[in-house]
């Protein structure tokens, strides 16, 4: 029986855009023979009991999460990269796994999702390459909202320029122009709203007052909380616990560190920290990529062709056992788009524009169409199109038998015909 591993699709030359999925791919690729398992780039988390990937399918069993997958392979198939670990190493491994999930997870959330510039230029585009068009309206925004909630306690919402612009009370709040100017300021580009002169310091208009620079010290501290313990544990060894092969901890560390290292984001504070302050960690990441993935550069377009059944992995010389996913019905997917994408937007209130700085209580409704009107129109139009298509298909499959009869309309009668009104009027003297 062939085992299946369902993951979020590839990005940045890596097999997946998700750290746990990357770790699972690395672990299985290093332990299982190629003909024992298949790798599926999926996008329907409803297949998973917990609504997320990685999902490991073993017959009727569905296992989610990296640690659960490792435990299942250890117990049922004796595939175990940690078999030679001492009790102390096992305890250290548990502690470091907890550290990665509690610190590297939020750091990656900030890096790829909360940062508006990184999300708009890199993360969103990566999802576009691995998802059908209609799912792009659901999954990336939902995953970004989850990342925002997981990092809310860190006090770094200023990285999210769109969210920060909604909290301001200036004129034109929430308009496209204000968000564009805010994004320019976050990127260090002179804005038309302020003089082009560069002011140092933390005051209004100063360089250090922009979101990325104001938060840079805290971001560097968060990066050090992840990288320094790993650097201490690694030392001069090839892997975190030494030896001649990686452990499950190395696979999980690779899942997080590889995304932080290889994602081509414009605000690359983690990559800069790795390259300048932790060169051993950078060498460690490159060594793991060679050992676990054989330095294969994954192209999303190739994997998409395989996943949709248009090609097989051997057509592109892919080393990982990529396979096609099962076809899914269109109606449930459309229902998900309407339920998760259209309806939430339709329930939003129309945007309001504030007039003046000194009296923020004076508001006026925008003259632009509200999201409710736009979403309602889109829903009705889509439903009508689907209904007409279904009617046409049904008529084509079940044409009417027998001759076609065209009924002629009865000629219209004069209003007073049949009541003798005309004869009565003609008899009157003139």
pLDDT tens per residue across span 204-258: 444 445 556 668 889 999 999 999 999 999 999 999 999 999 999 999 999 999 9
| Within a domain: 36 | yes
Same domain for 51 and 110, yes or no, is no
Q: What is the pLDDT of residue 327?
A: 74
Same domain for 81 and 108, yes or no, is no
Maximum alpha-carbon separation in the chain? 126
Q: How confident is the model at residue 33 (pLDDT cuts 50, 70, 90)?
A: very high
Same domain for 312 and 334, yes or no, is no
Strands 363-365 and 352-354: antiparallel
Provide the residue count of the chain. 430
In degrees rounded to 5, what are phi and psi of residue 304?
-60, -40
pLDDT at residue 353 above 50?
no
Please report, rounded to a whole number, the percentage of residues in the chain having pLDDT higher than 90: 61
Contact partners, residue 244, CB within 8 Å, separation at least 6: 238
| Within a domain: 290 | yes
The residues facing 353 across adjacent strands are: 364
CB-side exposure of 227: number of CA atoms within 13 Å? 29
How far apart CA 158 and CA 116 sit, in angstroms, is 9
pLDDT at residue 118 above 90?
yes
Q: Which two tokens stand for residue 308?
A: 């949709």
Q: Quick one: CA dihedral 243, 246, 249, 250, positive or negative?
A: positive
Name the least confident of 71-75, 187-191, 279-283, 323-327: 187-191
Q: Which two tokens stand for residue 262?
A: 């290889």
Comparing CA positions, the residue from 370, 290, 336, 360 lying closest to residue 142 is: 336
Last residue of a domain, one of 216, 235, 252: 216
| Within a domain: 336 | yes
- What is the arithmetic mean of pLDDT over 29-45? 97
| Within a domain: 380 | yes
Same domain for 302 and 338, yes or no, is no
Q: Quick one: CA dihedral 358, 359, 360, 364, positive or negative?
A: negative
Comparing CA positions, the residue from 321, 318, 287 lying closest to residue 32 is: 321
| Within a domain: 408 | no
Residue located via tokens 């073993």:
58
DSSP-derived letter for residue 41 is E
Residue 127 structural domain? 104-216
Q: Quick one: CA dihedral 221, 223, 229, 233, positive or negative?
A: negative
| Within a domain: 129 | yes
Contact, 240 vs 250, CB < 8 A?
A: yes
Report CA dihedral (310, 16, 24, 38) to the nearest 10 degrees.
0
Residue located via tokens 């524009």:
353
- What is the arithmetic mean of pLDDT over 380-406? 53
Same domain for 276 and 189, yes or no, is no
- What is the arithmetic mean of pLDDT over 385-406? 50
| Within a domain: 156 | yes
Number of domains within the chain? 3
Residue located via tokens 């890596």:
14
Say what the pTM is: 0.71
Angle at 31 between CA 25 and CA 32, to 5 degrees: 85
Mutual angle of helices 19-31 and 66-77, in 10-degree steps: 20
Q: What is the pLDDT of residue 375?
A: 59
How far apart CA 222 and CA 212 sit, in angstroms, is 14
Contact, 240 vs 233, CB < 8 A?
A: yes
| Within a domain: 420 | no
Comparing CA positions, the residue from 247, 256, 229, 232 lying closest to residue 291 is: 247
Name the least confident of 316-320, 321-325, 341-345: 341-345
Comparing CA positions, the residue from 56, 51, 95 lying closest to residue 77 is: 56
Same domain for 62 and 115, yes or no, is no
pLDDT at residue 71 above 80?
yes
Same domain for 266 and 337, yes or no, is no
Same domain for 340 and 372, yes or no, is yes
Same domain for 37 and 127, yes or no, is no
Q: Which two tokens stand for residue 82?
A: 């940690």
Q: Which of 106-115, 173-182, 421-430 has the highest mean pLDDT?
A: 106-115
Contact partners, residue 110, CB within 8 Å, separation at least 6: 147, 151, 154, 156, 159, 219, 222
């Amino acid at each position: 029986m062939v085992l299946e591993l369902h993951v979020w699709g590839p990005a940045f030359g890596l097999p997946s855009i998700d750290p746990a999925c990357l770790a699972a791919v690395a672990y299985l690729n290093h332990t299982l023979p190629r003909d024992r398992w298949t790798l599926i780039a999926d996008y329907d988390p409803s297949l998973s009991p917990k609504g997320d990937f990685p999902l490991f399918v073993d017959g009727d069993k569905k296992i989610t999460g990296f640690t659960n997958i490792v435990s299942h392979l250890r117990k049922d198939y004796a595939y175990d990269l940690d078999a030679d670990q001492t009790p102390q190493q096992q305890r250290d491994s548990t502690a470091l796994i907890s550290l990665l999930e509690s610190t590297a997870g939020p750091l990656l959330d900030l890096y790829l999702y909360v940062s508006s510039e990184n999300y708009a230029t890199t993360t969103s585009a990566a999802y576009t390459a691995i998802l059908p068009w209609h799912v792009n309206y659901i999954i990336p925004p939902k995953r970004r909202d989850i990342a925002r909630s997981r990092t809310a306690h860190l006090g770094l919402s200023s990285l999210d320029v769109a969210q920060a612009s909604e909290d301001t009370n200036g004129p034109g709040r929430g308009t496209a122009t204000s968000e564009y100017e805010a994004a320019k300021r976050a990127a260090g580009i002179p804005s038309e709203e302020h003089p082009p002169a560069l002011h140092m310091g933390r005051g209004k208009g100063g360089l250090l007052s922009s979101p990325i620079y104001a938060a840079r010290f805290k971001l560097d501290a968060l990066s050090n909380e992840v990288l320094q313990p790993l650097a201490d544990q690694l030392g001069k060894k090839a892997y975190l616990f030494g030896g001649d092969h990686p452990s499950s901890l190395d696979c999980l560390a690779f899942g997080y560190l590889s995304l932080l290292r290889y994602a081509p984001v414009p605000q690359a504070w983690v990559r800069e920290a790795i390259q300048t302050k932790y060169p051993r960690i950078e060498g460690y990441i490159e060594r793991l990529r060679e050992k676990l993935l054989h330095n294969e550069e994954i192209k999303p377009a190739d994997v998409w062709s395989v996943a949709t059944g248009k090609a097989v992995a051997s057509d592109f010389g892919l080393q990982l056992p990529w396979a096609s996913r099962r076809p899914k019905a269109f109606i449930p997917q459309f229902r998900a788009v309407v339920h998760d994408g259209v309806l939430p937007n339709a329930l939003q209130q129309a945007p309001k524009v504030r007039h003046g700085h000194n009296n923020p209580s004076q508001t006026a409704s925008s003259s632009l169409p509200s999201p409710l009107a736009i979403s309602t129109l889109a829903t009705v139009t889509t439903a009508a199109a689907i209904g007409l298509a279904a009617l046409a298909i049904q008529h084509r499959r079940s044409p009417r038998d027998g001759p076609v009869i065209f009924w002629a309309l009865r000629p219209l009668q004069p209003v007073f015909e049949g009541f003798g009104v005309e004869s009565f009027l003609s008899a009157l003297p003139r």
